[in-house]
Amino acid sequence: MAAIVTDPPYGIAYQTGRRKVMSTPDMLANDSEAPLWSVPLMYEAVADGGALYLCTRFDVAPIWQQALTNTGATLKTPIVWDKGNWTSGDLTGDYANQCELILFAHKGRHTLKDGRPSNLWRVPRDPAGEHPTPKPVALMSRCIHNSVNKGGVVLDPFMGSGSTGVAAIREGCHFIGIELEPKYFDISCRRIEAEDNQLSIFDFI
């Protein structure tokens, strides 16, 4: 596996603030506890010299960082994702957060393809839909583009809405996805299949 690019449950029991006007569930499925047990498995799956990209939030990032360190992964500078807007929260006693983190780690020595890019990525956030917290394809594409050569294999063990799979196809990579929740699995399969079919059509033009 050349890289793992994933958005695991944060373990924060996320609830969408727009549930009254949307058909999404009140709580993000399987988000009641951070699945730290998965970190050793991810580290084992990635090839020597491969990269791991894990999306998270500032308040739970330390436990994910510790789990990565415990496996022997080399933690590098985290990526700050500027979403361009912010979610609800304490409206008078806190700052409005419009950023999330992507933890970046190596197994062995890993070399980025295009030198040393900035760790501040401005990528507009996707609106909630069939999945309450979809990651933008452009965000996952950037991870893959920087760390995986064409034809390489990308794994996402928490596939969610399938953004990593779509991004892998666009980057000319092979993709393996795992998703526990049947609803999200079906969403991912539809999106990835549609992307693959679209690219296959253009191959013959």
Query: What's the CATH superfamily of 3-203?
Result: Vaccinia Virus protein VP39 (3.40.50.150)
Q: pLDDT tens for residues 50-102?
A: 999 999 999 999 999 999 999 999 999 999 999 988 767 788 899 988 999 99
Distance in angstroms between the alpha carbons of the first and the last residue of the chain: 31
Residue 200 has pLDDT above 70, yes or no: no
- The domain locations on the chain are 3-203
Task: Measure the CA–CA gap between 201 and 144, rounded to whole angstroms.
Answer: 23
Sign of CA dihedral 75, 66, 31, 39: positive
Residue 27 has pLDDT above 90, yes or no: no
Both tokens of 86, joined, read 């912010």
Residue 32 has pLDDT above 70, yes or no: no
Average pLDDT, the chain: 87
For the chain, what's the residue count? 205
Both tokens of 164, joined, read 């990593």
Q: What is the pLDDT of residue 132?
A: 77
Q: What is the pLDDT of residue 21?
A: 42
Q: In the chain, where do the E strands start and end?
A: 3-6, 51-56, 74-75, 79-82, 99-106, 120-122, 153-156, 174-177
Q: What is the pLDDT of residue 4?
A: 98
Task: Measure the CA–CA gap between 44 and 51, rounded to whole angstroms.
Answer: 12
Task: Measure the CA–CA gap between 150 and 61, rounded to whole angstroms.
Answer: 30
For 147, half-sphere exposure in the C-beta direction (CA atoms, 13 angstrom radius) is 29
